[in-house]
Amino acid sequence: MPRNNLIFGAVILFGANLVNRLLGFVYQYLIMHYIGSEAYGLFYMVFPVYMTALVLTTAGIPLAVSKMVAERVSIGRYAEARRVFRTAFLTLFISGLLVTITLYLNRSLIVHSFFADERVGIVFQICIPSIFIVSVASAFRGYFQGLQNMVPSAVSQVCEQIFRIGIGFSLSVYLLKKGIEWAAAGLAAGMLCGEIVGLLVILIQYLMQRKHLPYGNQNGGQSKPVMPELISLSLPVTGSRLMATGLSSLDTVIIPKQLQLAGYSARNATSLFGEFSGTALTLLSFPSVFTFALATSLVPAISEAMVRNDVRAARNKSIDAIRYTIMLGLPCVIALYFFAEPLTHLFKSDHVSAVLKVLALGGLFAYIQQTTTGILQGLGKTFLPLAHSVITAVFRIPLLFYLTGIPKFGLVGTALTYVFGFAMMAFLNLYAINKHIGLQADLKSMILQPVLAGLGMTAVLKSILWLIPGQTTLLTSLTVLLAAIVIYFGILISQGGISIKEIKKTWRALRFWPKNK
């Protein structure tokens, strides 16, 4: 399997995530224009409880599977890799089934206890079966990622998104006449149908490829017990994800209540929260299509290097990943800052344009945080992101309470708190990576060259936008943005920030560049 490497895996997942995000933008546009932010706010309120249940069910096992399979395959122990998958699949099947049944039997109690708006009851009920489906599908994704074969995951995610959007929007529009809560229920039904399709697609690919996967162990030696290692790797990841989900749950409670304290009515606060989560955070997270792909590919790639005691290879992969994150993240946050108004207007969320500008200031830290978390997990330091999340939360939660509740700040105060959290997590992760493997990075190529290219892009944007009178149209904005991005990468290439050698290396990884060049 010559193409199974970091670059190829990252590019495949990036392509799938990019398609999914573009489809997601279309979906978001349709929701905001034809269904409304209140329905989306109701739908989004379910997610913290839903994600908490999902995290408890999967317990970080898919990431542990990815790491364990990669380590065993790298030394030729294919039978052990298959045993890891079987153990994980059975564990996730049972845990997913138990949690799904428990939630369904106690759904009324959960709605009354955890949701301020009881209209979410029908939405939550529809979301419950997704927990079992996602749990089972995650076992297959972890296994294929451990083999550094990202194609099955990519294909299943795209199919899942297509069905989610088609069914979700159609049902929401049809059910809107019955009430806002029923429109939100249509979105939940679309998500459930998408998850079912995603599971079926990756299962079919597994059955098709199973005969072609290697069998047996090339090296002798006693097999290690699977379950203890699976638990030791997955528990810290579970803690980290529970912390993230817990913070998200707190946000859904704190932000609307503090907005009311700042002078908004309960209904306006819910609508503003829907715009913040559905538009501002969605736009900010768009560039993470690359960092998510990179972080997912990094875990098996770095694990493979470390199991061979090749610290130098792990260090080089880490440095490249951080550099690519900065190089690609910087033009994205500049674009979000300068085009905050037309982007939020596109989603009928003009109230959060200033909020998006503030979030853009910390966007690069959010992307670095995601990449560095993948590096730490690949190094086997899965407990560190959890520790860093706890440290950050100690400062972040009081700040969120205080800033959101100030009338002149409101959601801008919320955005400032998010920026603080992103930056703190990123710096803590970078410090830990440097401590364990020593980054020894070239600051010129990692920071100075992208910053200079970013300044050039900023100058071009400010000049062109100053020359264009009045409010720019979407087509004009896209044209200006394209010109600015060309300038950015032109400056970067001219300075040597991106070399011809790196471009050839990327194409070779994709088999689009001749091997003898």
Q: Which of 284, 294, 316, 330 is nearest to 433 (CA)?
A: 316
Question: Looking at the domain assignment, is residue 151 inside a domain?
Answer: yes
What's the pLDDT band for 509 if we cut at 50, 70, 90?
A: very low
Question: Looking at the domain assignment, is residue 223 inside a domain?
Answer: no
Decide which of 440, 460, 492 is a domain's last residue: 440
Which tokens go with 473?
């149209």
What lies within 8 Å, CB to CB, of 286 at 6+ separation is: 21, 25, 332
Q: Which of 281, 216, 295 is nearest to 252 (CA)?
A: 281
**Domain assignment of residue 495, given as a range:** 441-511
What's the pLDDT band for 517 if we cut at 50, 70, 90?
A: very low
285 and 307 housed in the same domain: yes
**215 vs 122 pLDDT, higher one:** 122
Question: Looking at the domain assignment, is residue 35 inside a domain?
Answer: yes
Q: For 207-211, 259-263, 288-292, 323-327, which range has the lowest pLDDT when averaged over its residues?
A: 288-292
What is the reported pLDDT for 515?
41
94 and 78 housed in the same domain: yes
In percent, the amount of the chain with pLDDT more than 70 equals 90
Decide which of 397, 416, 440 is a domain's last residue: 440
Question: Looking at the domain assignment, is residue 123 inside a domain?
Answer: yes
User: Tens of pLDDT along 396-437?
Assistant: 999 999 999 898 888 999 999 999 999 999 999 999 999 888
202 and 95 housed in the same domain: yes
Tally the domains of the chain: 3
Which tokens go with 465?
């936008």
User: What SS3 class is residue 217?
Assistant: strand
331 and 476 housed in the same domain: no
Question: Looking at the domain assignment, is residue 260 inside a domain?
Answer: no
CB 416 within 8 A of CB 401: no
Q: Average per-residue pLDDT in the chain?
A: 83
User: Tens of pLDDT along 431-458?
Assistant: 999 988 887 777 787 888 899 999 989 9
Distance from C-alpha of 442 to C-alpha of 70, rounded to nearest angstrom: 29
430 and 452 housed in the same domain: no
What is the reported pLDDT for 197?
96
Question: CA dihedral in degrees (4, 6, 11, 13; nearest 10)?
Answer: 80
CB 220 within 8 A of CB 158: no
User: Tens of pLDDT along 104-142?
Assistant: 999 888 888 777 677 888 889 999 999 999 999 999 998
Which tokens go with 400?
């969120």
Rg (CA), the chain: 23
418 and 450 housed in the same domain: no
Tell me: pLDDT of 334 over 70.
yes
CB 509 within 8 A of CB 14: no
Amino acid of residue 35: I
412 and 372 housed in the same domain: yes
Tell me: pLDDT of 513 over 60.
no
User: Tens of pLDDT along 255-268?
Assistant: 888 888 888 887 78
Question: CA dihedral in degrees (117, 413, 415, 116; nearest 10)?
Answer: -10
274 and 294 housed in the same domain: yes
Q: Dihedrals φ, ψ of 217, to 5°?
A: -115, 130
Question: Looking at the domain assignment, is residue 258 inside a domain?
Answer: no
Q: What is the mean pLDDT of residues 212-230?
A: 66
Q: Is the dihedral of CA 473, 476, 482, 486 positive or negative?
A: negative
Distance from C-alpha of 333 to C-alpha of 198, rounded to nearest angstrom: 31
12 and 140 housed in the same domain: yes
Which residue carries 């329905």 as its tokens?
39
Decide which of 440, 456, 471 is a domain's last residue: 440
Question: Looking at the domain assignment, is residue 252 inside a domain?
Answer: no
Neighbouring-strand partners of residue 217 = 77
What is the reported pLDDT for 481?
83
327 and 447 housed in the same domain: no
Question: Looking at the domain assignment, is residue 4 inside a domain?
Answer: yes
395 and 462 housed in the same domain: no
167 and 36 housed in the same domain: yes
